[in-house]
Chain A
Amino acid sequence: EVQLVESGGGVIQPGGSLRLSCAASGFSFDDTTMHWVRQAPGKGLEWLSLITWDATTTYFADSVKGRFTISRDNSKNSLYLQMNSLRPDDTALYYCAKDFGSGSSPPYYLDDWGQGTPVTVSS
Chain B
Amino acid sequence: QSALTQPASVFGSPGQSITISCTGTSSDVGAYNYVAWYQQHPGKAPKLLIYGVSNRPSGVSNRFSGSKSGNTASLTISGLQAEDEADYYCSSYTYNTFVAFGGGTKLTVL
Residues of A in contact with B (beta carbons under 8 Å apart): 35, 44-47, 50, 59, 61-62, 95, 97, 100, 106-116
Contact = CB atoms under 8 A, between A and B. Distances in A.
Interface residues of B, number: 25
Contacts, number: 64
Contacts of B2: 44
B103 interface: yes
A107 B100 CA distance: 12
Contacts of B104: 44-45
B26 to A, nearest CB: 16
Contacts of B38: 45, 110
A116 B45 contact: yes
A107 B52 contact: yes
Nearest to A96: B45
A10 to B, nearest CB: 19
Contact of A47 (B34, B45, B47, B98): B98
Nearest to B87: A44
A112 B48 CA distance: 7
Given A44-B104, A50-B99, A113-B45, A107 B57 contact: no
A96 B106 CA distance: 23
A102 to B, nearest CB: 16
Contact of A106 (B34, B44, B47): B34
B48 A109 contact: yes
Contact of B45 (A35, A95, A109): A95
13 contacts: A35-B99, A44-B89, A44-B104, A45-B38, A50-B98, A106-B32, A107-B32, A107-B34, A108-B98, A111-B48, A111-B57, A113-B47, A114-B45
